[in-house]
């Protein structure tokens, strides 16, 4: 599989400098510096419990940093008003690991719900075309009247992505998008993440333990080690090392 290359785009949509976060005596983030450039896919890797979710929660203002500067779309997330934070969150789509669909609603209703909650001025016709366009984009228009329980795990992931995308976020955050899926479906989700980048011009952070996914979707890769991103760059840059904290990731994913 061909590795993606970094983009030449230099406009930053997320900029994190010197970020620290502790819970009691447990120092999770210890000097995180990270940038997400416009239209790039950045893969974030790291062992379980290293603080990837904590980092994402700080980015969307669900947790406050202890120290450091966190700018998202040129706004300091810990210095803006709650109203500004809510407006900012609409520009940052979060695709949950478990897809987080409403089981009692059809696929159509799952997509209509965020639209009417957040964009109250749309007409019925506009809502219908937005829902159909987004389902078509993820290749699942034919499931529009089905219930989530009637869909496969891969289809639920796609609907979850469509539901996040329907608000047209500038930034997408994918939390372990291929977790629990078979290899073929993983490849389909990887393609979808790349299609979303191309078609909707999103900038994305993809948290994953799946290095095939990392290689397929990431323009850059950043590995969280001991509370900071010590290794960042292309897939090759990050894994071309004998660092014993890094090698097992590679060896486990690509049996040598």
Q: Is 53 in the site for ligand ATP (CB under 6 A)?
A: yes
Q: Is 51 in the site for ligand ATP (CB under 6 A)?
A: yes
If the CB atoms of residues 49 and 248 are measured against ligand ATP, the closer one turns out to be 49
Q: Mark the segment that binds ligand ATP (CB under 6 A) among 31-39, 52-60, 69-77, 114-122.
A: 52-60
Residue pair 51/224 in contact (Cβ under 8 Å)? The answer is yes
Q: Which of 3, 5, 9, 23 binds ligand ATP (CB under 6 A)?
A: 23
Q: Tokens standing for 32?
A: 């995180």
Q: Is 163 in the site for ligand ATP (CB under 6 A)?
A: no
Rounded Cα distance, 48 and 81, in Å: 32
Using CB under 6 A, count the residues that bind ligand ATP: 10
Rounded Cα distance, 87 and 67, in Å: 24
| Minimum distance of ligand ATP from residue 101's CB (angstroms) | 20
Rounded Cα distance, 227 and 60, in Å: 19
Q: Mark the segment that binds ligand ATP (CB under 6 A) among 51-59, 76-84, 122-130, 239-247.
A: 51-59
Q: Mark the segment that binds ligand ATP (CB under 6 A) among 45-53, 79-87, 121-129, 131-139.
A: 45-53
Q: Is 211 in the site for ligand ATP (CB under 6 A)?
A: no
Residue pair 16/32 in contact (Cβ under 8 Å)? The answer is yes
Q: Which of 13, 39, 45, 52 binds ligand ATP (CB under 6 A)?
A: 52
Q: Is 25 in the site for ligand ATP (CB under 6 A)?
A: no
| Minimum distance of ligand ATP from residue 124's CB (angstroms) | 40
If the CB atoms of residues 135 and 229 are measured against ligand ATP, the closer one turns out to be 229
Beta-carbon neighbour count of residue 229 at 10 Å? 22
Secondary structure letter of residue 123 according to DSSP: -
If the CB atoms of residues 41 and 50 are measured against ligand ATP, the closer one turns out to be 50
Q: 3-state DSSP call for residue 211?
A: helix
Q: Is 220 in the site for ligand ATP (CB under 6 A)?
A: no
Q: Is 194 in the site for ligand ATP (CB under 6 A)?
A: no
Q: Is 178 in the site for ligand ATP (CB under 6 A)?
A: no
Question: Which residue in the block uniquely carries the two structure tokens 């210095």?
Answer: 79
At 16, which helix (H) or strand (E)? strand 12-23
* Residue 215 burial by Cβ neighbours in a 10 Å radius (0-12, 13-18, 19+): buried
Q: At what angle do helices 153-165 and 107-118 cross, to 10 degrees?
A: 20
Q: Is 28 in the site for ligand ATP (CB under 6 A)?
A: yes
Q: Is 50 in the site for ligand ATP (CB under 6 A)?
A: yes
Residues 6 or more apart in contact with residue 247 via CB below 8 angstroms: 241
Beta bridge partners of 92: 171
Binding site for ligand ATP (CB under 6 A): 23, 28, 46, 48-54
């Amino acid at each position: 599989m061909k590795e993606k290359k970094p983009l030449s785009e230099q406009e930053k949509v997320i900029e994190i400098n010197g970020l620290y976060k502790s819970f009691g005596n447990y120092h999770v983030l210890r000097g995180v510096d990270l940038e997400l450039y416009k239209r790039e896919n950045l893969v974030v890797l790291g062992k379980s419990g290293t603080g990837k979710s904590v980092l994402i929660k700080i980015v969307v203002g669900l947790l406050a940093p202890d120290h450091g500067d966190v700018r998202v779309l040129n706004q300091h997330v810990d210095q803006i008003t709650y109203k500004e934070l809510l407006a900012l969150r609409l520009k940052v789509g979060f695709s949950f690991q478990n897809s987080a669909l409403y089981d009692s609603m059809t696929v159509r209703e799952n997509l209509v719900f965020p639209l009417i909650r957040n964009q109250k001025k749309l007409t019925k016709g506009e809502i219908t075309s937005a829902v159909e366009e987004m389902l078509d984009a993820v290749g699942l228009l034919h499931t529009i009247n089905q219930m989530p329980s009637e869909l496969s795990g891969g289809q639920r992931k796609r609907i979850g992505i469509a539901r996040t995308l329907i608000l047209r976020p500038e930034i997408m955050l994918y939390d372990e998008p291929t977790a629990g899926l078979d290899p073929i479906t993983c490849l389909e989700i990887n393609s979808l993440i790349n299609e979303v980048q191309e078609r909707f011009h999103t900038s994305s952070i993809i948290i994953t333990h799946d290095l095939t996914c990392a290689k397929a979707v990431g323009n850059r890769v950043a590995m969280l080690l001991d509370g900071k991103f010590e290794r960042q760059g292309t897939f090759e840059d990050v894994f071309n090392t004998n660092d014993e904290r890094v090698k097992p990731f590679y060896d486990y994913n690509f049996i040598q």
